[in-house]
């Protein structure tokens, strides 16, 4: 379940991002704060729900949240000099997409393969 652990760490990073990049001093609108907090909360909730066997496919929600965050970072940054916060959204979104595509038991073979091997 290591991909879900990394997703929780990225959610914590998104929570502290407004303080690291000093959104107030950069005169970024309040929407940037809400974007970080809402996506971080959703990513953490999805990662925790993925530990339950019944909800094992919910990790794809992290993939789509990563797409949303990367698109926000790409579209809101000015052309020649992108903001550090926008670059952070882009990179963090791409990381969330990468880890969101990994299955929950990332170090094990799929269940169907394991059942097939047990037959022999």
**What is the pTM for the complete model shown?**
0.82
Q: Give me the pLDDT at residue 107, please.
A: 66
Give the relative orientation of helices 60-76 and 84-100 as an angle to the nearest 10 degrees.
160
pLDDT of residue 106: 63
- Taking a C-beta distance cutoff of 8 angstroms, is the pair 106, 2 a contact? yes
Q: Helix crossing, 2-20 with 30-49: angle to 10°?
A: 160
Which tens digit of pLDDT belongs to each residue from 60-105?
999 999 999 999 988 887 777 778 888 999 999 999 999 999 877 6
**Domain range summary for the chain, segments of one domain joined by +:** 2-118
**DSSP characters for 83-112?**
-HHHHHHHHHHHHHHHHHTS-SSTTS--HH
Instruction: State how far the Cα of 30 lies from the Cα of 50, in Å rounded to an integer.
Output: 30
Task: With a cut of 80, say whether residue 110 has pLDDT above it.
Answer: no
pLDDT at 14: 95
What is the structure's pLDDT at 48?
A: 92
């Amino acid at each position: 379940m290591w991909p879900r652990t990394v997703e929780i760490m990225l959610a914590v990073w998104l929570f502290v991002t407004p303080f690291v990049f000093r959104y107030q001093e950069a005169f970024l609108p309040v929407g940037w704060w809400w974007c970080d907090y809402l996506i971080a909360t959703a990513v953490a909730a999805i990662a925790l729900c993925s530990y339950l066997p019944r909800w094992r496919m919910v990790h794809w929600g992290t993939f789509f949240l990563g797409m949303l965050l990367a698109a926000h970072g790409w579209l809101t940054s000015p052309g020649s000099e992108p903001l550090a916060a926008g670059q952070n959204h882009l990179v963090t979104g791409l990381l969330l997409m990468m880890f969101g595509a990994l299955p929950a038991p990332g170090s094990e073979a799929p269940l169907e393969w394991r059942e097939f091997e047990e037959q022999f």
